Amino acid sequence: MNAQELIANNLIVRHLGGSHAYGMSTPQSDVDYRGIFFAPERSVRTPFFNIKEVSDATEEDTKYHELTHFMKLVTDCNPNIIETLWVDEKVIEVTSPAYEHLRAHRSDLLSKKAAFTFTGYAFAQLKRIKGHNKWINNPQSEAAPKHIEYMSLVQNFTEDKIFKINFADFREGWILYHFGGEIYGMYQRDGYTAYNRDGTLNPFNDEQAVDNPFIDETGQFRKTPHFIVKFNKESYIAARDTHKNYWHWKTHRNEKRSELEELHGYDTKHAAHLVRLLRMGTEILDKGEVHVWRPDAQDLLDIRAGKWKYDDIVSYAESLDVNIRENLYNTSQLRHSPDYNQAAKLLMEVQDICWGK
């Protein structure tokens, strides 16, 4: 039985997902589905035909989970998975006795693990928001960092009182002699260049030089440099990586998200998901309920529309996180960890319904 046959013949539940499940859809919202299907006995009772999930090739974010795998994710309090047992009935398009039995026992599958999964998922969103905000406010030039931009003067042996030099002025007719580590001596010598055209260092090569002006017949170094300089390698590598990451983000970022970021200074869609996840986590620990269809939908839509300032989003999210971890986790009436014996019993009951036993 292939993936599409599993969805067609073994479906337990199918419901609208994303903004349609949250009561936050707009005319521009994509239509995605979530669901559960059951696998044949041999896929569950043997290791040879295992299947965990199926995606719909026609819908980017549509996904169906196999019942056994679904139960593992539910007991882990995976935010995206828990929703399936708590969605509003008006967004359920296909149901079954197996799903109704599972839904009737949904509260038994909640635990305080939600404190960590919901805040974890939320702060993954916040990390992206902060990272993108950094890129927006600190754009990188198209030109990549160059070695020459990360040189600094360590010691001046000339008679001039020089405390800082423009290294671009010391390219032609100069030699960089490597003393070890990231330290170099700079010497004047016609016909040499201290840097390549692309700004990379061009150290003097003892082995290739026909006439080494710095080493005497005994192999001893014999000339005092005009300057001793340092290549700040770690700073250069950090700048190079920042430049690379910025342009990867700039080139590959989602077009719709980039419009939001340019307009509001941060990804407001990520921000709405961030607040929703933290509020849902709060509700689970406080009330033992998962409110997928959001009573605060308009407030979340306002966030998505950019009506909250970036600093307010960050501050609010951090305050909710502290409340969940330091207050609600300790006062919640939920069990500390999943009851796997109870979950196993429920799973086998639902499997028996699916397999007609």
Task: Please report the DSSP string for 148-201 in residue order.
Answer: GGGEEEEEE-SSS--S---GGGGSEEEEEEEEETTEEEEEEEEEEESB-TTS-B
Is there a domain that residue 323 lies in?
no
Domain boundary among 208, 232, 256: 232
- Stronger pLDDT, 166 or 71, i.e. the higher one: 71
Is there a domain that residue 176 lies in?
yes
Residues 91 and 22 placed together within one structural domain of the fold? yes
Is there a domain that residue 309 lies in?
no
Residues 3 and 64 placed together within one structural domain of the fold? yes
Domain boundary among 187, 212, 232: 232
Residues 46 and 105 placed together within one structural domain of the fold? yes
- Stronger pLDDT, 49 or 92, i.e. the higher one: 92
Residues 5 and 103 placed together within one structural domain of the fold? yes
73: domain CATH number is 3.30.460
- Residues 246-300: pLDDT tens digits? 888 778 776 666 677 777 778 898 899 999 999 999 999 999 999 999 999 999 9
Residues 75 and 160 placed together within one structural domain of the fold? no
Residues 94 and 181 placed together within one structural domain of the fold? no
pLDDT at 257: 65
pLDDT band at 206 (very low <50, low <70, confident <90, very high): low
pLDDT at 3: 64
- Residues 28-83: pLDDT tens digits? 888 899 999 998 888 888 888 888 888 765 566 788 999 999 999 999 999 999 99
pLDDT at 192: 84
Would you call 132 helix, strand, or coil by DSSP?
helix
The residue among 228, 195, 221 whose CA lies nearest residue 206 is 221
Query: Containing domain of residue 102, as a range?
Result: 1-109+336-357
Domain boundary among 188, 203, 232: 232
Element housing 348 (H / E): helix 340-355
Task: Work out how many domains the chain is built from and give that number.
Answer: 2
Residues 6 and 103 placed together within one structural domain of the fold? yes
Residues 158 and 102 placed together within one structural domain of the fold? no
